DNA sequence: CATATATTTGGTTATTTTGCCAACTATGCA
DNA sequence: TGCATAGTTGGCAAAATAACCAAATATATG
């Protein structure tokens, strides 16, 4: 028994829960995908438009969108030739407030480390 | 000009900001590290105790802690033989509320997809 | 039907991340 | 001083990611 690695003494349920959370957070953990989420906070966008803004190959953008969709962060709808993406769970945005305060704390500490 | 890849038309400042955010989110994007953050929300812990709970090699746990520290999410303090870690920016916890609602939305959709 | 546009998918290579072991550092204590 | 305990660091192999190109799909239109 206990062939698994990590967090091994924990009950299986809590372990699954942590893995599920990590999958979603991982989906957000890329600059391009953060850009997309930020952009979609202003309303839906089609892949072509996002691709123009991002500047990567469209296949790369499409794969980023697929990661976000897979995680349940965005949803898509095909209309004619285009596919439109939108945020599925907008609270994702609050999220950034805290990230920002980590960054501020880091910056503050960096200033203090230099002497001011 | 514009040798960079991705989000290429964006101004440099916004780009840096997205990268900084992604770095922090990436630090959270692992089940073990989520476990640690969750654990530290109840107060500081030493590496030895976290290691017992997690069940990985202590060097593995130490590296996870180092990732979190590097990102500015936790801080450490050596006391005698032990090193105690604590959350540096507790708002990180709010964070999880939204992750949870993504998971719930996913689960709901999965149920509906099955026909109920 | 043939063609053009929008997007996804498959395949490949390069890079990053994980996790373990071994070696090293730091601290406390006999 | 010598030994034990707690943690970090270096090194390595395996696994996961990322980005590009080419090929495949799907839809609209002449």
Specify the residue for token string 């072509």: A48
Structure confidence by residue, pLDDT tens digits, B72-91: 999 999 999 999 999 998 88
Average pLDDT rounded to a whole number, residues B82-110: 86
Structure confidence by residue, pLDDT tens digits, B30-39: 999 999 999 9
Say how many domains are in chain B: 1
Reduce the DSSP state of residue B82 to 3 states and report it.
Answer: strand
State the CATH number of the domain containing residue B37: 1.10.10.10
Q: Could you tell me if residue B107 is inside a domain?
A: no
Residue B74 sits in which domain range?
12-89
Specify the residue for token string 């062939």: A3
Q: Could you tell me if residue A95 is inside a domain?
A: no
Q: Are B5 and A56 in contact (CB under 8 A)?
A: yes
Share of chain B above pLDDT 70, in %: 91
* Backbone phi and psi for residue A41, each to the nearest 5 degrees, phi listed first: -65, -20
* Backbone phi and psi for residue B64, each to the nearest 5 degrees, phi listed first: -60, -45
CA distance B107 to B116: 11
Average pLDDT rounded to a whole number, residues A75-90: 95
Q: Could you tell me if residue B79 is inside a domain?
A: yes
Nearest to B20 among A71, A101, A103 (CB): A103
Report which of B63, B76, B78, B59 is spatially closest to residue B27, judged by C-alpha positions: B63
Answer yes or no: is B18 CB < 7 A from strand D. no
Q: How confident is the model at residue B116 (pLDDT cuts 50, 70, 90)?
A: low
* Backbone phi and psi for residue A54, each to the nearest 5 degrees, phi listed first: -80, -40
Answer yes or no: is A5 CB < 7 A from strand D. no
Nearest to B72 among A19, A25, A102 (CB): A102
Q: Which pLDDT score, from 0 to 100, does residue A10 have? A: 67
Q: Could you tell me if residue B54 is inside a domain?
A: yes
Query: What are the angstrom distances between the C-alpha of A33 and each of A1, A39, A61, B79, B92?
Result: 39, 10, 9, 40, 20
Q: Which pLDDT score, from 0 to 100, does residue A6 have? A: 59
Structure confidence by residue, pLDDT tens digits, A19-47: 999 999 999 999 999 999 999 999 999 99
Q: Which pLDDT score, from 0 to 100, does residue B2 have? A: 38
Q: Could you tell me if residue B108 is inside a domain?
A: no
Q: Could you tell me if residue A106 is inside a domain?
A: no
Q: Could you tell me if residue B16 is inside a domain?
A: yes
* Residue from B2, B20, B26, B31 to probe the interface with A (highest A Cβ count within 10 Å): B31
CA quadruple A92, A95, A99, A104: dihedral sign: positive
Q: Could you tell me if residue B27 is inside a domain?
A: yes
Average pLDDT rounded to a whole number, residues B94-101: 81
Q: Does the pLDDT of residue B8 top 80, yes or no?
A: no
Q: Are A69 and A75 in contact (CB under 8 A)?
A: yes
Average pLDDT rounded to a whole number, residues A87-116: 82
> Quick check: A91 and B105 CB within 8 A?
no
* Chain A residues inside the 8 Å CB shell of B108: none
Q: What element of type H or E holds A87?
A: strand A82-87
């Amino acid at each position: 028994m206990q062939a698994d690695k990590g967090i091994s003494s924990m009950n299986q349920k809590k372990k699954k829960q942590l893995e599920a959370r990590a999958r979603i957070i991982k989906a957000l953990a890329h600059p391009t995908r953060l850009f997309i989420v930020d952009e979609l906070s202003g309303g839906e966008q089609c892949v072509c438009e996002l691709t123009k803004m991002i500047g990567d190959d469209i296949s790369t953008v499409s794969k980023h969108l697929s990661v976000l969709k897979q995680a349940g962060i965005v949803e898509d709808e095909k209309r004619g030739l285009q596919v439109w993406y939108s945020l599925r769970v907008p609270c994702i945005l609050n999220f950034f407030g805290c990230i920002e305060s980590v960054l501020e704390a880091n910056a503050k500490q960096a200033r203090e480390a230099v002497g001011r």
